[in-house]
Structure 1
């Protein structure tokens, strides 16, 4: 049985927001107006089936969502699914356990203003920003206007809808709070070159990598547009990602062709060094660029939240913030624009709802994929085992970050974690440590360990002076 199978939106009322759309990828049911393209990835207009029901993915622009939209997600999950919501490592949301009411659920979300203006444009809205974009004290520029322009082009330019649903762009403005470990097909990062604000850019990497070149900030939208057009001109059908193309087509040749298409020639960038902050700035209280204003960062346990957690956070955003929430690639959210004096009370309320707000909580440092309860490819119940491991780590006062993966696909982590457990059978894992130069999960350290054995080994490692 295949892992994912596209669902169909049926029974839409004439005149409703989705009337005329179908999610069916089977040729036996003809599309009415526009059909979501075949893909194993869930989307807003494409519900895919897993062991625990249908999955609908809601892509959030820059991770941002209003309190009213957050309540709509919570209500839809409660009414039409199993009440399980997931925060993803791309700062999006997923609803799991969807039953037969595909159409009503999606119509509710679209009615709340979630999703693109077209079905085909929904897949390609993969644009990552810092969750603190525009607010971070270390930002060089407010990157959000450029992000809005790029998102508009991704949704409206029909040719870009040919891009893979996984093709992704990152915009970085030098914020201290930024996910720099996820690789993107295209990345841009603000920098000053001879007193002028520029965008360094690169392909199939992240802002910690050496850039290809840089362009003036005002050329950023044109740059992304031309990169995507050139990629589609050069890539074969089997080259869905930028790394696939660059494996055969040198980056220098790509840059040469790109230069011919741009109105302003890119310039070399020497001595590139993106500032990297290793503090857990996505958790707890942190100051913003506006004096007296802070944000509170939190994560959902193992990326899972329920409708009460989401609606409760939305109420806090209304009562103490600006009515917005910003989801993060650490599978959590920020409540921005709080008064500093209100932050302790907001944290207390979040913790009462079930959110994790401190890096001293071991569970805040553990991530796990869906596991065998929801995915037939998983070899273990990673969510259950993750809770067990977190309890052990809390007792041992071990501060390592751990990733549990039910199979080699690594759905829960888009980067190499310091410690990875790869399931081999129920309750048993191979243990990997991240190591420079090692591909995949890193260096294999031990095989076929129980969770108790993993806990003991990590405890001994944390106590070792070497």
Structure 2
């Protein structure tokens, strides 16, 4: 039935220009493909790409739009989405129309909430417990079919991990992780506690968790609880009936309360005043209520409430530490049969027309016809014949893409900095390029350069934090699990000293 959902054409969206009422809405200001952000270098559009999956035609269409309407480059985000920058003030309608034609805008109301990352090599290298692509298709369809889901903020994130632990480590608000026994684990935020559910029910359980978050974030009371339950049930029914747009989804009271909740309360699970534990407990309660009594050890937990999902999943609890996931290795990754997946990085997450065309041409002529954008600002091209992979990697390296872990660009990221961002205190991308080593250590920590204290796009886990200051210098420190490991080193006015400080900080502690 998910296939039916994907096949049905959504209704054409209503387009709007920046400046009308929808673009002046208070609250969540995350940019999208319809709500453009005004930057110093022009308007910015952020195109959500669930799971990072693009057909080569869609990828080539984005290149054409960037060249005709923007600055000619494509910018990857830490969620595997694409940004176009330098857009003209009056291009909104044309941009949205082309996005719809390309299949990148299935629902206008949901375009900013389709934030889903997925294991980029899932189904390609045989290392995951299952291919999460069916989850991706189903979850995206369920989100777009739920009127209530439109109330999620543009910052709320789903992660679909195929069991290898890569995107499970990204701190998503709702994570599904495949298990080797055919089941799935549902995680809320960064909690170690997980709830085990049948894999077939995983996408609907993820949507339910998001709906309970909306209710919890705004504390809408009994009316809100009823609306969220109705929204989750309606999403499940829409999945079974094959409705793909929001046309047949819950409306009216079922959608209005969660939208108010997201506007007045927390944007993400980490923002909840009470933390993630109460939300997790409530999600588990709703899952239990969806089926018959569930035995947890020697304790029988009764059901009795109306089904929240339209399914009857058994529920088991466990504790699984959040792993320290890693991006795909760069280069050729052995795939099924006689094919490889080619994994490359984009220096500072940017690709001009030449680099982007090299990727789309490879996907079209020698690959499986698709690109997978990674949350680490890289691209995977599946299905390249093994005998052609070495030559293809050489061609990608020749245009400036990163094809191996010994590149100076490996592990280096930065915000856009000056001149694109008015808040930035420095040209961080230029300074990052000037501070590159000849080649980093194989075990070097990732480094993120930021033009201001917001640190847009910084990684998780352990990383080197380089932040511009008002005096023209930078503060360099190591961050682990959100906290600093020591006092920052302040470097001013000497590029060589800055490069040395960054290289020293990137050396892992023993």
TM, length-normalised to structure 2: 0.78
How much has 1:317 moved relative to structure 2?
1.0
Distance of 1:120 and 1:24 partners within structure 2: 16
SS in 1 for 2:170: coil
Segment of structure 1 superposing worse, 324-333 or 107-116 = 107-116
Please give the residue correspondences for 1:47-446 in structure 2 after superposition, counting only pairs within 5 Å. 47-99=36-88, 100-116=90-106, 118-175=107-164, 178-192=166-180, 196-205=181-190, 210-236=192-218, 237-245=264-272, 247=274, 250-251=278-279, 253-262=281-290, 263-269=312-318, 272=320, 281-288=328-335, 290-390=336-436, 393-394=437-438, 399-425=444-470, 427-435=472-480, 439-440=482-483, 443-446=486-489
How much has 1:36 moved relative to structure 2?
8.4
Highest RCO, 1 vs 2 (Cα 8 Å, sep ≥ 6): 2
Match of 1:447 among 490, 498, 502: 490
Distance 1:418 1:232, change over 3 A: closer
Distance of 1:250 and 1:135 partners within structure 2: 37
Distance of 1:241 and 1:273 partners within structure 2: 21
SS in 2 for 1:394: coil
The answer on whether the counterparts of 2:367 and 2:382 sit within 8 Å (CA) in structure 1 is yes
Distance of 1:243 and 1:323 partners within structure 2: 37
The answer on whether the counterparts of 2:324 and 2:461 sit within 8 Å (CA) in structure 1 is no
SS in 2 for 1:350: helix
Partner of 2:501: 457
Partner of 2:16: 22
Segment of structure 1 superposing worse, 299-308 or 158-167 = 299-308
How much has 1:113 moved relative to structure 2?
1.7
The answer on whether the counterparts of 1:424 and 1:448 sit within 8 Å (CA) in structure 2 is no
How much has 1:132 moved relative to structure 2?
1.3
TM, length-normalised to structure 1: 0.84
Distance 1:51 1:322, change over 3 A: same
How much has 1:400 moved relative to structure 2?
4.1
Distance 1:446 1:275, change over 3 A: closer
Distance 1:454 1:180, change over 3 A: farther
Distance 1:159 1:23, change over 3 A: farther
User: Whose helix fraction is larger, Structure 1's or Structure 2's?
Assistant: 2
The answer on whether the counterparts of 1:23 and 1:35 sit within 8 Å (CA) in structure 2 is no
How much has 1:256 moved relative to structure 2?
4.7
Distance of 1:252 and 1:160 partners within structure 2: 18
Distance 1:372 1:324, change over 3 A: same
Segment of structure 1 superposing worse, 133-142 or 366-375 = 133-142
How much has 1:203 moved relative to structure 2?
0.8
Distance 1:35 1:53, change over 3 A: closer
How much has 1:44 moved relative to structure 2?
1.1
SS in 2 for 1:161: helix
Structure 1: gaps (5+ residues): 1-16
How much has 1:464 moved relative to structure 2?
10
Distance 1:167 1:158, change over 3 A: same
How much has 1:154 moved relative to structure 2?
0.8
Distance of 1:413 and 1:462 partners within structure 2: 15
Distance of 1:285 and 1:256 partners within structure 2: 41
How much has 1:375 moved relative to structure 2?
0.7
How much has 1:101 moved relative to structure 2?
2.6
Distance of 1:444 and 1:172 partners within structure 2: 35
The answer on whether the counterparts of 1:121 and 1:156 sit within 8 Å (CA) in structure 2 is no
Distance of 1:314 and 1:36 partners within structure 2: 37
Distance 1:18 1:388, change over 3 A: farther
Distance of 1:134 and 1:165 partners within structure 2: 28
